[in-house]
Amino acid sequence: GLTIHFDLFFIGREGRVYQEAAKYRQQKLQYLDMREQVIFEVRSAISALEDADEFVKAQARTVDQANEGLRLAEVGYKEGTLDQVSVLEARTALNQAQLLYWNSLYNHTIARISLEKALGELDPKLQENTTDENQLSNLE
């Protein structure tokens, strides 16, 4: 008869080496994917914060203009060139501008917190609350 001898220890060891190499490649791909996700999240948060900052500045200018419009309307009313409806419209415009300004400050705060979260600087206990707030701000 013919006898064939295989070293099962060698095949088993080689199989484990291939298995561990595959696990290593898989973990490396997961790491690269996670890294790209973090970079994207940070860049998105920075962009959102910059946009929110510009919006706050624009809304502050709008409030200033609405204040000036109300002042002019009140002067016009005192001098008799404008009626009371014009003053009320100017006051309504100011109230609307102030509301938008405060809303922009809220969105700026949420954007800042999102950036802190993306950078890992946010307290984990607060992260649960920011998720709820982000969902609320997305509804607006």
* 103-123: pLDDT as tens digits: 999 999 999 999 999 888 877
Is the pLDDT reported for residue 47 higher than 70?
A: yes
pLDDT over 80 (residue 13): no
Residue 136 vs residue 72, higher pLDDT: 72
Taking the C-alpha atoms of residue 137 and residue 106, their distance in angstroms, rounded to an integer, is: 9
- pTM for the model: 0.67
Buried b (16+ CB within 10 A) or exposed e, 75-113: eebeeeebeeebbeebeebbeebeebbeebebbbebbeb
